[in-house]
Structures are given as structure tokens and as C-alpha cells.
């Protein structure tokens, strides 16, 4: 049985760092079985340059990545999402739109690398750390036998991935 590619949306408040990293990673690592998207509740309107630099340094294409509102994905002609992941604690606590099709959702909180102050090297290091946490979670997600799991099992696995080794310190301290 051939299945259309799964559509995955990564949400964060500003859609400039973590959700962009996730979209970039899944675009490459999940192709052709997954379509990756990202959005924010209050998008900053531009992608953090360190997010683009880190993705590029690890060989991930950055073309077409942009900061956008989650409203783009709530219209009737928008892609129907199969999975929606919040990657920041602010977005996880916000009232999200109702997504058509009842996608599986999970919270994969990662510390915001754009909040790091200091030298450019310190800032870039924070983005590399966030990249590695996100890549680990996406790798675990891609290893799931999604075609063999029921909806509840998928949801349970997705929640566990959010707690997996490689989670950022702040995210692992959440209840």
C-alpha cells in the first residue's frame, strides 16, 4: 500500500530558530516520505541567521525557509497535517488552532538558542546544541513504524521522543 507523504508541522512562537531547524532537518532526512513545515504563533518575520548557518554547516539546504504564521496552515487549501510538534514551551502553552484531520501532536521542548547572549561563537554553539537535540528527536521519529502503529501508540511514542535522551536540560525538567 502506498501512502502519500506525511505532513509534519513544527510550531514555535517566533518561528525563527528551533522550528526552522526542525523543518530543515526533516525536509532532508525525511524525504520523500515526509513533508516538513514550520510556523509560529507570533512569527518574527525573519529567520535567525545562526539557524541558517548551522543548517548549512551540516549540509542541510536552507532555501525557502522563512518565518511565517501558523495561520497559513489553518486555511481550507493548506496541507492537511498528520503530525504537529511544539518545540518551545511558550507555543505548547498557547491555544493552537484546530487542525483539520486531527493530527497526532506532541511537545518536544528545546531551549531557545536565540536567547543566548555573548560572543557569536557562544551563540552559534547554542544553535548547534539545539540542532543536535532536534536531529536526535527527528531520527527517533523517522525510525517509528508509523504504518504499523495505531493512533494511540503513535501518540505515546511521540511523547516519549520529547523526553528522550538528548533533550535539552530545561525540557527534561518539565513535569
Q: Report the relative pairing of strands 104-107 and 34-40 from DSSP bridges.
A: unpaired
- Is residue 111 part of the annotated active site? The answer reads no
**H helices present in the chain, as ranges:** 18-29, 49-57, 89-93, 120-143, 151-162, 169-172
Catalytic residue among 88, 92, 146, 167: 88
Catalytic residue among 52, 53, 58, 96: 96
Distance CA 122, CA 105 (A): 32
CB contact set of 165 (below 8 Å; sequence gap of 6+): 136
Catalytic residue among 9, 12, 25, 104: 12
- Is residue 143 part of the annotated active site? The answer reads no
- Is residue 96 part of the annotated active site? The answer reads yes
Q: Which three cell numbers stand for residue 3?
A: 501512502
Across 25-130, the runs of DSSP E, i.e. the strands, are: 34-40, 83-86, 104-107
**What is the set of active-site residues?**
12, 88, 96
Amino acid at each position: 500500500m502506498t501512502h502519500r507523504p506525511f505532513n509534519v508541522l513544527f510550531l514555535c512562537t517566533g518561528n525563527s530558530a528551533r522550528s526552522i531547524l526542525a523543518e530543515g532537518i526533516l525536509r532532508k532526512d525525511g524525504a520523500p516520505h515526509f513533508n516538513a513545515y514550520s510556523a509560529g504563533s507570533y512569527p518574527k518575520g525573519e529567520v535567525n541567521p545562526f539557524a541558517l548557518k548551522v543548517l548549512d554547516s551540516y549540509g542541510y539546504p536552507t532555501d525557502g525557509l522563512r518565518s511565517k504564521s501558523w495561520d497559513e496552515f489553518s486555511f481550507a487549501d493548506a496541507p492537511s497535517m498528520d503530525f504537529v510538534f511544539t518545540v518551545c514551551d511558550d507555543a505548547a502553552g498557547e491555544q493552537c488552532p484546530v487542525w483539520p484531520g486531527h493530527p497526532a501532536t506532541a511537545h518536544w521542548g528545546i531551549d531557545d538558542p536565540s536567547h543566548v547572549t555573548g560572543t557569536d561563537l557562544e551563540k552559534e554553539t547554542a544553535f548547534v546544541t539545539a540542532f543536535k537535540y532536534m536531529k536526535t528527536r527527528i531520527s527517533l521519529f523517522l525510525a517509528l513504524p508509523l504504518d504499523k502503529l495505531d493512533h494511540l501508540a503513535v501518540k505515546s511514542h511521540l511523547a516519549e521522543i520529547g523526553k528522550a535522551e538528548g533533550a535539552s536540560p530545561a525540557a527534561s525538567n518539565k513535569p
